[in-house]
Amino acid sequence: MLALGAVIALLPLALANDYFYDVAILVGLNAIVCVGLNLLIGYAGQISLGHAGFFGLGAYGSAILTARYGWPPLAALAAATAGVALLAYLVGRPILRLKGHYLAMATLGLGVIISIVAANEDRYTGGPDGMSVPPLSIAGHALAGERIWYWLVGALLLAAVWLALNLIDSPRGRALRALHGSEIAAEVIGIDSVRQKVLVFVLSAVYAALAGGLTAHYSGFVTPGQVTFLHSIELVTMVVFGGMASTFGAVAGAAVLTTLPQLLAVLKDYEMVVFGAVMMLTMIFMPKGLVPTLAALFAGKGAR
């Protein structure tokens, strides 16, 4: 936690210009989504292939409320996030009774529905062209400039990580990990499995929606591309690559896989190929993910 704080505090020394800041902000926003998604996938052991849908609803919700209805951005952000939480709750109750492939298909379907709505309801969303979004403003002061955003996103990421670590370290966190370990055993020690799964599903959707809304206000633009199935896959890849059931792994995964396409700008069209390859190589060579694998390596060396 302190290390992450130190990295966020010291990183600006290495950020030469606004472009680097821009990448760092995108890393932070993706990391917030991944920390939430990791609670669901890594700790509770439930897959979601639809989280770009929640991200997109947060983005479009906040965009539409500010741009079309003139809401203050903070209120719009809060309302969009609350709306996503409610939707995740309503959808989560029936679909989280499903397991494995069935749950994957159900969340996939949810994501696809949201993405089609975003692309087709052009009266509200601007359709395939997307729509522009007013900047975030607090009490009338617009937040503009990469540097302000960097500190805002950095602080929010720290808060997101802190909340996630607290949850994992509590009786509720143990209940989530118990579900992952053995659902039937979790039930017979009194854990209401569906309820706990819905709870963590909603929480992870809130993380995604908040990051989505912030991304929209930050970039001033939102397109259906951010809501697609491919974006859901990217998010899952970040979590798996960084290390399931490792909160810092989720942050590291987001950092590496957000930065990588920027470095490989020449390969822009082949971005998804790189993601696919990363996913395959991770599964083969370090199925536990980056951070847990490195941690085990260092722990092993220390013991010797």
Q: Which stretch binds another protein (CB under 8 A): 174-182, 223-231, 266-274, 283-291?
A: 174-182
Write down the least CB distance from residue 131 to another protein, Å: 33
Residue found under tokens 């696919």: 276
- Please tell me whether residue 178 binds another protein under the rule CB under 8 A: yes
Q: Which stretch binds another protein (CB under 8 A): 50-58, 65-73, 182-190, 292-300?
A: 182-190
Among 74, 117, 124, 180, binds another protein (CB under 8 A): 180
Write down the least CB distance from residue 166 to another protein, Å: 4
| Cβ atoms of 29 and 136 closer than 8 Å | no
- Please tell me whether residue 86 binds another protein under the rule CB under 8 A: no
Q: Which stretch binds another protein (CB under 8 A): 24-32, 97-105, 172-180, 251-259?
A: 172-180
Q: Which residue, 230 or 294, has its beta carbon nearer to another protein?
A: 294
| Nearest in space to 81 (alpha carbons), one of 10, 160, 155 | 160
- Please tell me whether residue 167 binds another protein under the rule CB under 8 A: yes
| Cβ atoms of 57 and 209 closer than 8 Å | yes
- Please tell me whether residue 93 binds another protein under the rule CB under 8 A: no
Instruction: Report CA Rg, the chain.
Output: 19
- Please tell me whether residue 182 binds another protein under the rule CB under 8 A: yes
Q: Which stretch binds another protein (CB under 8 A): 2-10, 168-176, 209-217, 223-231?
A: 168-176
String of contacts with another protein for each residue 192-211, x by CB under 8 A: xx-----x------------
Among 9, 138, 185, 267, binds another protein (CB under 8 A): 185
The count of other CB atoms within 10 Å of the CB of residue 187 is 14
The HSE-up count of residue 278 (CA atoms within 13 Å, CB side) is 26
Q: How far apart are CA 105 and CA 111, in angstroms?
A: 10
Q: Which stretch binds another protein (CB under 8 A): 170-178, 224-232, 251-259, 287-295?
A: 170-178
The DSSP line for 212-256 is: HHHHHHHHTEE-GGGGSHHHHHHHHHHHHHH-TT-HHHHHHHHHH
Scored b (16 or more CB within 10 A) or e, 216-239 reads bbbbebbbbebbbeebbbbbbbbb
Which residues, in sequence order, are bridge partners of residue 222?
A: 131
The HSE-up count of residue 59 (CA atoms within 13 Å, CB side) is 31
- Please tell me whether residue 114 binds another protein under the rule CB under 8 A: no
Question: Quick one: tokens of 119?
Answer: 């692309």
- Please tell me whether residue 191 binds another protein under the rule CB under 8 A: yes
Among 189, 265, 299, 303, binds another protein (CB under 8 A): 189
Window 226-285: residues binding another protein (CB under 8 A): 245
With vertex at residue 55, the alpha carbon angle to CA 50 and CA 56, rounded to the nearest 5 degrees, is 95
Among 2, 14, 139, 188, binds another protein (CB under 8 A): 188
Q: How far apart are CA 209 and CA 58, in angstroms?
A: 4
Q: Which residue, 6 or 185, has its beta carbon nearer to another protein?
A: 185
Q: Which residues bind another protein (CB under 8 A)?
A: 163, 166-167, 169-175, 177-178, 180-182, 184-193, 199, 245
